[in-house]
């Protein structure tokens, strides 16, 4: 009992060792806790590439192809997002995704996450949330079906419009003075192996024309419920995709918001996705 009393007295008496130890505890504990927590949650800081697009375009197929390296497995409609950890070569040692998929690929590598999202209309919320999330998002690959673009043009363009608008808004809402890093978009025109597939240039022009029409009709459309009257006038500017007031929409207008849009054709089934892979490697 006396020991305890003595001990307490010592601690409560101001003296140099007590101050030093106290200061050390105060300084070190938060730092240690931080390291403990950050080490407990891995995979948060890997750069990520988002696969997005209408259903049936071949997002999951592409994912499996890039992961396996040899060929894609059959897939069905996705219900959840699925991330896969992939590597790209950093020293130019290997070029093709086929080599990168091997475990014993030579050279040094950088890991990144390829995130597949469901394309179904009801489940797009999660994909859109990923764009706005604070992940180190490096790029978005919008996979579309080039062989059935005629029938699906409106649906595809609608989704693309939402994605582009989200990317555009993302650039606008930086809380700090530091601008958020640029996120570029690749339009992957899939299914080039099919006879009816459109070439990339035609895909681009068709989509640009359709996006222009959507932009026009959205600006004239009804206000969304919950938006009070009068609040809308200054928001007009925000919901306008690309250069405000421009007659026609072109993907080049997105440069204003640091969003580069490339259109590249390819085919998952035939394994002709090297150009897409190059694009992804560049972003990562």
Partner 1 sequence: MLDTFEILTTSGVVVWSRSYAAVSPSIVNSFITDVFIEEKGAIAGAKDDQPTASNPPYRADQHTLKWTFSKELGVIFVAVYRSLLHLSWIDKLVDNLKTIFVDLYGDQLKKPNTTLVHCHKFDEYFDQQVRQLESSAAVKGSQPSAAALVSDDEAVSGNLGDEPPLPPGLKHRSIAQNGAQELPSTTESTPVVTPSNSRPSTPGTSHLVVGKGGPMAKMSRRARKMQNTSAPASSGDEGPARKAKKAPKKGRKWNADGYASEEDDVQLDYSAAANAATSESEAEGRSTAMESIDSSTWGTKTSKGQFVLKDLDDEVNDILASAQAKSTGSSSSGGLVNSGFSTISGLFRNVVGGKTLTKEDLRKPMDGMKEHLIKKNVAPEAAVRLRDSVEHELIGLKTGSFESIDARIAKAMEASLTKMLTPTSSLDLLREVDAVTRPSTFSSVKPRPYVISVVGVNGVGKSTNLSKICFFLLENKYKVLVVAGDTFRSGAVEQLKVHVRNLKELTQREGGKVELFEKGYGGDAATVARDAVRTASNEGFDVVLIDTAGRRHNDQRLMSNLEKFAKFANPDKILMVGEALVGNDSVAQAQNFNASFGQGRTLDGFIISKCDTVGDMVGTIVSIVHATNVPVLFVGVGQHYEDIRSFSVKWAVKKLLSNN
CA torsion 58-99-86-140 (nearest 10°) is -50
User: Which residue lies nearer to partner 1 by CB, 63 or 207?
Assistant: 63
205 binds partner 1 (CB under 8 A): no
53 binds partner 1 (CB under 8 A): no
Stretch that binds partner 1, among 9-17, 112-120, 171-179, 270-278 (CB under 8 A): 112-120
CB contact set of 265 (below 8 Å; sequence gap of 6+): 146, 189, 192, 197, 199, 200, 203
The tokens for 2 are 């006396």
Exactly one of 13, 176, 177, 217 binds partner 1 (CB under 8 A); that residue is 217
**CA-to-CA dists, residue 148 to 69, 163, 192, 239, 271, angstroms:** 26, 20, 11, 28, 19
Among 59, 102, 105, 99, CA closest to 82 = 59
233 binds partner 1 (CB under 8 A): no
Residue ranges in 120-179 that form contacts with partner 1 under rule CB under 8 A? 120-125, 154-155, 158
**CA-to-CA dists, residue 54 to 11, 14, 70, 124, angstroms:** 67, 69, 25, 9
In the complex, what is the shortest distance from the CB of residue 101 to partner 1, in angstroms, rounded to a whole number?
Answer: 10
227 binds partner 1 (CB under 8 A): yes
84 binds partner 1 (CB under 8 A): yes
Q: What is the C-alpha separation between 102 and 70, in angstroms, rounded?
A: 10
In the complex, what is the shortest distance from the CB of residue 13 to partner 1, in angstroms, rounded to a whole number?
Answer: 36
Residues pairing with 187 in the sheet: 142, 263
Residue ranges in 175-204 that form contacts with partner 1 under rule CB under 8 A? none
Exactly one of 51, 53, 57, 64 binds partner 1 (CB under 8 A); that residue is 64
Exactly one of 94, 113, 146, 254 binds partner 1 (CB under 8 A); that residue is 113
In the complex, the residues that contact partner 1 under the rule CB under 8 A are 43, 56, 60, 63-64, 67-68, 73-85, 113, 116, 118, 120-125, 154-155, 158, 213-214, 217-218, 220-227, 229
């Amino acid at each position: 009992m006396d020991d305890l009393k003595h001990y307490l007295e010592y601690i409560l008496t101001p003296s140099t060792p007590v101050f030093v130890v106290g200061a050390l505890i105060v300084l070190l504990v938060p730092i240690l806790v931080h390291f403990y927590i950050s080490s407990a949650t891995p995979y948060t800081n890997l750069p990520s590439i988002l696969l997005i697009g209408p259903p049936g375009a071949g997002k999951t197929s592409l994912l499996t192809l890039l992961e396996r390296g040899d060929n894609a497995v059959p897939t069905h409609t996705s219900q959840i997002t699925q991330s896969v950890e992939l590597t790209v070569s950093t020293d130019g040692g290997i070029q093709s995704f086929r080599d990168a998929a091997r475990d014993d690929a030579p050279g040094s590598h950088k890991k990144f996450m390829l995130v597949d999202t469901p394309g179904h209309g009801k489940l797009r919320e999660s994909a859109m949330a990923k764009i706005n999330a604070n992940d180190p998002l490096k790029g978005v690959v919008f996979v579309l079906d080039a062989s059935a673009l005629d029938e699906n043009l409106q649906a595809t363009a609608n989704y693309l419009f939402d994605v582009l608008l989200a990317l555009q808004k993302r650039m606008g809402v930086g809380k700090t003075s530091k601008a958020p890093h640029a996120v570029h978009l690749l339009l992957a025109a899939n299914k080039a192996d099919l006879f009816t597939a459109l070439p990339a240039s035609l895909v681009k022009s068709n989509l640009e024309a359709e996006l222009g029409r959507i932009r026009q009709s959205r600006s004239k459309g009804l206000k969304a419920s919950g938006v009070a009257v009068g609040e809308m006038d200054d928001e007009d500017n925000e919901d306008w995709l690309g250069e405000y007031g421009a007659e026609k929409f072109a993907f080049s207008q997105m440069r204003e918001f640091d969003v580069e849009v490339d259109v590249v054709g390819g085919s998952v089934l035939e394994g002709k996705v090297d150009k897409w892979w190059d694009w992804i490697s560049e972003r990562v």
